[in-house]
Amino acid sequence: MHLKSIKKAVIPAAGYGTRFLPITKVVPKELLPIGNKPAIHYVVEEAVRSGVEEIILVCHPSKNGIIDYFKRDKDLQIFLERKGKKEEMAVIESIESMANFRVVYQKEPLGLGHAVWCARKEIGDEPFLVILPDVLIADEIPASQYLIDSCQNGDEWGMLVERVTPSEVSSYGIARVDRMKEKVYRLTGAVEKPKLSQAPSDLGILGRYLLPPEILRILERVKAGALGEIQLTDAIDQLARERPGSAVMSRGEIFDIGTPEGLKEAYQYFEEAVGRISRTVQEGQMKVLRRR
Ligand code: G1P
């Protein structure tokens, strides 16, 4: 299959959001606002702008708000229509029609690898993207599209990486790489949250993966690793040893919105950069943001 046609993206969104407690007792962290849109909207938009047609949301059964956000709300539509609120109606309708949304449940927080494995039936036998909603990347080229295009010249699977500082190494999956060609390294392995002394490089995995379906067969056998969880990085390590992939240097403005500070920065960026951002986030939606 030609890599241009990556049609499915998995978005893991089943975590408890402990860094944002107490708000995350009732509001999933993926629904915390950036402007007047929830954070997860931005990564769905990125996927859609990268050609994805089917979004597989991996949710916890208690986090139905995420599903509701992407679902049709007939009562609201009827209400807006009666009031003649055409612009608002268009915004609401554009959300549900962005993609086909599928939902799978991860009932226990057993790790990112387990979350992806929970989506195996929906993924089927084709390459797919994994997009972590904790990482927002603002760029003219949507980050997932950039990853797809960069892998296309070589190994047909891979992930985005960024340089991390020594103190950050143990919070990331770290790539093992050898040669490099135009910002793309050959990926030969990966280690999840290593000690600095055991890190194979200073390239941290950045929440965007293009994976072949074989990864699902590897995930089925992978044992619990770092933090006692089934780690996607461990499956990637096995795959890369058999068939090297690409570690693609990221570009654009990166926000780790898995922390309150990062979320605040993203909010400020997306609010202040309205003029500049019209190239990176759909203009229509930014207009709505500007009005508030
Ligand atoms: C996850 C991945 C890790 C990656 C990080 C940032 O870790 O397991 O490999 O480097 O996201 O994308 P988490 O931040 O969920 O602990």
CB of 204 sitting under 6 A from ligand 1: yes
Cα–Cα distance for residue pair 287/292, rounded to 1 Å = 9
- Please state the separation of Cα 212 from the chain's center in Å: 16
pLDDT band at 180 (very low <50, low <70, confident <90, very high): confident
The per-residue b/e assignment along 209-230, b for 16 or more CB within 10 angstroms, e otherwise, is: bbbbebbbebbeebeebeeebb
CB of 192 sitting under 6 A from ligand 1: yes
Residue 285 pLDDT > 80: no
Q: Specify the residue with its C-alpha closest to ligand 1, atom 3.
A: 173
CA of 188 to the centre of ligand 1 (A): 18
What is the tens place of the pLDDT at every residue in 49-96? 999 999 999 999 988 999 999 999 999 999 999 999 999 999 999 999
pLDDT band at 153 (very low <50, low <70, confident <90, very high): low
Tokens representing residue 51 in the block:
């050609």
Residue 138 pLDDT > 90: yes
Q: What is the pTM of this model?
A: 0.92
Task: Report, as an integer, the average pLDDT of 148-159.
Answer: 85
In this prediction, residue 291 carries a pLDDT of: 39
Backbone angles phi, psi at 219, to 5 degrees: -60, -30
- Under a CB-based contact definition with an 8 Å cutoff, are residues 128 and 10 in contact? yes
Identify which of 112, 129, 147, 231 to mutate to test ligand 1's pocket (most ligand atoms within 8 A of the CB): 112
CB of 205 sitting under 6 A from ligand 1: yes
Q: Specify the residue with its C-alpha closest to ligand 1, atom 9.
A: 173
Give the residue, 269 or 291, on which the prediction is more confident. 269
Residue 292 pLDDT > 80: no
**Average pLDDT of the residues of the chain:** 90
pLDDT band at 179 (very low <50, low <70, confident <90, very high): confident
Task: Report, as an integer, the average pLDDT of 149-159.
Answer: 84
Kindly state the DSSP code that residue 196 receives in the 8-state scheme. Answer: G
- Under a CB-based contact definition with an 8 Å cutoff, are residues 201 and 177 in contact? yes
pLDDT band at 280 (very low <50, low <70, confident <90, very high): very low
Residue 290 pLDDT > 50: no
Residue 221 pLDDT > 70: yes
For the CA of 173, the closest atom of ligand 1 is: 9
CA of 252 to the centre of ligand 1 (A): 19
pLDDT > 70 in the chain, percent: 91
Residue 3 pLDDT > 80: no
pLDDT > 90 in the chain, percent: 83
pLDDT band at 36 (very low <50, low <70, confident <90, very high): confident
For the CA of 226, the closest atom of ligand 1 is: 8
Residue 281 pLDDT > 80: no
Task: Report, as an integer, the average pLDDT of 7-11.
Answer: 98
For the CA of 171, the closest atom of ligand 1 is: 16
What is the tens place of the pLDDT at every residue in 229-265? 999 999 999 999 999 999 999 999 999 999 999 999 9
CB of 207 sitting under 6 A from ligand 1: yes
What is the tens place of the pLDDT at every residue in 157-177? 999 999 999 999 999 999 999
3 state DSSP class of 41 = helix
